[in-house]
Amino acid sequence: MGPIGFLVVFFAWPVLAIVGRGFAAGGLDVVLGDPQTWRLAGFTVATAAGSTVVAVLAGLPVAFLLARAKLPGVGLARTLVLVPFVLPTVVVGLAFRALWPDGGVLPIVLANAFFNVAVVARTVAGLWARLDSRTSDAARALGASPWRAFRSVTLPALAPAIASAAAVVFLFCATSFGVVLILGGARYRTLETEIYLRTVDLLDLSGASALSLIQFAAVVAALVVGGLARRRKEGARIGSGAVRRPRGGEWWVVGAAGVVLALLLTPIVALLAESVSASDGWSLAGYRALAGTGEKGALQVSGWDAALNSLKVAIDATLLALIVGVLASVVLVALRRSPARAARGLGETLDAALMLPLGVSAVTVGFGYLVTLDALPGDLRTSPYLVPLAQALVIIPLIVRMVLPVLRSVDVRLRQAASTLGASPLRVWREIDLPLTLRPLVAAAGFGFVVALGEFGATSFLARPTSPTLPVAIASLMGRPGELNNQMAYAACALLMLVTVLAVALIDRLGAARGRVGEF
Amino acid sequence: MKRRAVRAATAIAAVSVVTAACSLSDGSGDTKQTPTVTLVTHDSFLAPQEVLDAFQQQSGIKISVLKQGDAGSLTNKLVLTKANPVGDVAYGVDSTFASRALAEGVFEPYTSPEADRGPQRYAVDPEHRLSAVDVGDVCVNVDTNYFTAKGIPAPESYDDLADPKYKDLLVAEDPATASPGLAFLLGTVAKYGEAGWKDYWTKLKANGLKVVSGWEEAYTKDFSGSSGKGPRPIVVSYASSPAAEVGDDGKPRTKALLDTCYRQVEYAGVLAGGKQEENARKVVDFLLSQQFQATVAANMYVYPTRQGVDLPAGWAQVAPLPQKPQALTADQVQAGREKWIGEWRTLVQ
């Protein structure tokens, strides 16, 4: 019950405490009855759904490329596609603002999709690579066109992965904050930005609570849909998919994937260009400045120290999330396998509940910490350990999503056989479960690490000035005047991308099973 | 077989690096002999380490800095945690939020012996729960090169901004999401009064005003006078911003319009219910001391409240303190803030 205790103390309690204060203050009915509130909710759901559709449409061809095409550069594409996922929102927001100076709905939808194409591409590719290709070959042999074979055989088999990824993407988009703030300005607001505004600027906790409840309902709905779709996953025929050179119409798909990758790379290239351009031409001043603290000491530590701190915090967060996530997955698998119906139901509820941290506003959690954690010994509210704790909260759901299916697929009979032959439970775990799950575990850890590296919402709330992470340092640099600070911010982004690419490349190697990193 | 061995070795190496770097296990062996006072402040806080170290040498008190968002979010966090504050001293509650903090009883009375060297001028509270540490002014900034190149004079006043001559040139921040935006709105309320500010904004809107959500976008993307080289030569920023835009020739590329300024004063105070009252008072004294006051201009782009503190070289020309900024009392702001923001939202969006 350790993992559940962790989530209760560091998630449920703070969130309920802050929402409870809003309840106590009253006036919830006024907010819930305000048509404005429902317009906000509608706008939030509509833009998140729009971004999800765009991310799925863009992600599918890339998934095909990653899973089925034998072409040079596919490995590189697999790594690069994850880079947008960790870019600081303020930077991506500004990059999109450069293209759409007036902001608006379209750039919001596209920017949110931009962050999440990787989730779709890598999740779907993971299943696609393991999908038995004989079924669709049979369909082709019986005269189906490639499109028809895809539509009636492959697509239904991929549906669980697509739905699962879409649920996660929807959650990320529905709760995205910085992008909406920068691109929507004052005109377009979502539940998340309004919760932030009411909590942080207006101290209108009852209003924020009412909006949190609506957001919560939307999140639960997305989880239920995702959960229903995942349950069908077991139905997909798993075999070994053939990886070969694309032929015929498949080149169109590869072309589409190429276009998507090029579009994803555009903002990345643009910000690399920003990092080397000064008002009087090209300059590496931003990179050199990483050794210092910025113009007029914009940071309290050097850029390199911030990078080092990012690595440390992300490692701590990953280890913590791995421990909690794996324990939680083991419990969930046991509950799911239990003969008792009630236990299975409990397992499914917990499974969904573990995803909730993704759908609750960082500001709600952050303010919740302030009003609750002083009750724990050692007053964690001001502890530097709070940053890895908060990041772990964000990663745990992702780790569970990645580890759970693998653990579930370990054949019970192997374990039973081992026990019958006299192995202790520990030995069974060591000899059977561990070898079978090690690689996916490494991959999950790697993905968690990458997410922790880029995490901004919770971190910015809790990080101390003497130990900022890179995204926090980038935001502080952007928030101060001076050309050098601006260049240094972009150079720090480049550094963040580099670290990400290296981490993903390493993990992809270790977790050699194709396309396992970033799969839900 | 060989490849597998290499892989295993890499994995082991990676794991050991990971474990070695793990900071959860490092107990950075600080023997807790020196008393530590936690200073809760906003994100823009910056003080040179030497000055903090010197204070520690002198007083035997270590200052631990805890940043908690901008002035508004800092104030709200202090209100939420007033039963058991996260620190001992807070610095950064400004004149727009001071009334809220005072009404909620966040601070306790303390009159610093240093306060009569100038800070007293900005006192908001007869009980002396807050001491003024710095003043900053939000002013409209212009890109001087743009107006020289176009051969038209740069605007100078609020009224000029509504002049069709300057159509589509101004970018400002949303008062609901950015503190300079709020200050600019309050400046127009102070200037035109309850009765007239809405008319003024209607004119601004008709004159092609652009509103963005944060200072970063306005200043680094839309404004043409800074690194972003954006399209608009007029921006709502700070009186001190030109100090950061001095080129290699020693001349600033931008100028603050001193007739369009709104004054924000930032305060510090001893948190009620803190655990080290005596040491906390010494930290307030430190914030008002010559040593600390001399650092605020260069580090936080604000002006010291203490009299006779030198400003960085060139500030007198580049970033002079406006003589007659607009201002509202803390009580006026407290009473009107939410209403004005609400009315502004309906009017401008």
| B241-273 pLDDT per residue, tens | 998 888 777 788 899 999 999 999 999 999 998
Average predicted confidence (pLDDT) for chain A: 83
* pLDDT the model gives residue B238: 92
Distance from C-alpha of B258 to C-alpha of B262, rounded to nearest angstrom: 9
Residue of A nearest to B212 (CA): A185
Length of chain A in residues, anyone?
A: 520
How many whole angstroms separate alpha carbon B65 and alpha carbon B53? 13
**What's the pLDDT score for residue A109?**
96
Q: Where are the beta strands (DSSP E) in chain B?
A: 36-41, 62-67, 89-94, 107-108, 131-143, 170-173, 210-212, 234-238, 254-256, 262-271, 303-304
Cβ pair A381:B226 closer than 8 A:
no
Interface of A with B in 32-51 (CB under 8 A): none
Cβ–Cβ gap A316/B177 under 8 Å: no
Q: What percent of chain A has pLDDT over 90?
A: 17
At B38, the pLDDT band (50, 70, 90 cuts) reads very high
What is the three-class DSSP state of A277?
strand
Of A297, A465, A466, the CB nearest to B299: A297
Q: Specify the pLDDT at position A238.
A: 58
- In this complex, which of A186, A461, A509 lies closest to B349 when CB atoms are compared? A186
For chain B, say whether A453 makes contact (Cβ under 8 Å): no
pLDDT score recorded for residue B186: 96
Cα separation, A89 vs A471, in Å, equals: 9
ipTM of the complex: 0.71
- CA dihedral over A505, A506, A507, A509, signed as positive or negative: positive
Q: Which pLDDT score, from 0 to 100, does residue B317 have?
A: 82
Query: What's the pLDDT tens digit per position in B208-227?
Result: 999 988 888 889 888 998 87
Q: At which residue do the structure tokens 């910056």 appear?
A: B46
Q: Strands of A398-504 (E only): list them.
A: none
CB B72 within 8 A of CB B341: no
Q: Phi and psi for A406 in degrees, rounded to 5? A: -70, -45
C-alpha B166: how far from chain center: 28
Distance in angstroms (rounded) separating the CA atoms of residues A316 and B90: 30
Tell me the nearest-neighbour CA distance from B156 into chain A, angstroms. Answer: 22
Tell me the pairing of strands B170-173 and B210-212.
parallel
pLDDT in tens, A5-27: 888 888 889 899 888 888 888 77
Burial of A161 from C-beta contacts in 10 A (0-12 / 13-18 / 19+): buried
What tokens appear for B157 in the block?
A: 């006043």
Give A189→chain B minimum CA distance, Å.
11
**Shortest Cα distance, chain B CAs vs residue A356, angstroms:** 24
Q: Do A510 and B22 touch (CB under 8 A)?
A: no
| Closest alpha carbon to A86 in A480, A519, A518 | A518
Is the per-residue pLDDT at A421 higher than 80? yes
* Three-class secondary structure of residue B137 per DSSP: strand
* Backbone φ and ψ of A243, nearest 5°: -105, 120
A442 near B CB under 8 A = yes
DSSP track, B233-287: SEEEEETTGGGGGB-TTS-BSEEE-TTS-EEEEEEEEEETT-S-HHHHHHHHHHH
The rounded radius of gyration (Å) of the Cα atoms in chain B is 24
